[in-house]
Homo-oligomer: A and B are copies of this chain.
Amino acid sequence: HRRGIPEAILAEGKSPEQVVELAETALETTDRALLTRLSDRQIAALESAIGESFPDATVERRSDAALIETPDRERPSLSATVGIVTAGTVDQAVADEAELVCRDAGATIDRVDDVGVAALDRTLDQADRFREADVLIVAAGREGALPTVIAGLVDTPVIGLPVSSGYGYGGDGEAALYGMLQSCTVMSAVNVDAGFVAGGQATLIARTIDSARDRPD
């Protein structure tokens, strides 16, 4: 039986009505609904509909992602920490998507914003915190050097998450993805803006670690 990746509803390209219906079905059958890439109109429709159909549900919003849970839902708790690191404001929404996937799975999150390669001191200052995580997601746009620098400082496995910022040639996250795939330090990467995938992969690793802590054999 697979317990791995949480089902999520990718709102992009769906009508507000479709999103509401999918969310309500998810809540009815699993007591939770995880939604990503929500537009303002979809969020408004969701809030008003869920407010009526599931008045006791709680909603956790991060940028354009949302996790809705009924009181019956027992969120799992993993004994594993996912560190999530961002450089600029522009990386936060993508990191938020990853974070909500990990939260839904019950991992402990250690979020560090506003470090970066142009402000190296702030990055170096956090090295010990990075080392304490079991797995790190490092989001970065432009030239995407931050995960390379962090992976060079710590032994924690790093998942590089390229962000579609940057202008001109190699913008839209292409330079960042290239840099992570070509990095001179060890890491793996996911696609540009794939916060959901980075969060999912970190969750799978966190679960494995949680199991190891449970059954140390």
Mark A residues whose CB is within 8 Å of B.
2-5, 13, 79-80, 87-88, 90, 116-120, 124, 134-135, 142-145, 148-149, 152-157, 159, 162, 164, 166-171, 173-194, 197-198, 200-201, 204-205, 207-210, 212-214, 216-217
Contact = CB atoms under 8 A, between A and B. Distances in A.
B174 A178 contact: yes
Contact of A117 (B152, B155, B214): B152
Given A208-B156, A209-B208, A190 B181 contact: yes
15 contacts: A118-B184, A120-B153, A143-B145, A149-B149, A156-B204, A168-B182, A169-B173, A169-B178, A170-B179, A178-B179, A183-B197, A189-B189, A205-B205, A213-B216, A214-B216
Contacts of A149: 117, 120, 145, 149
Contacts of A193: 167-168
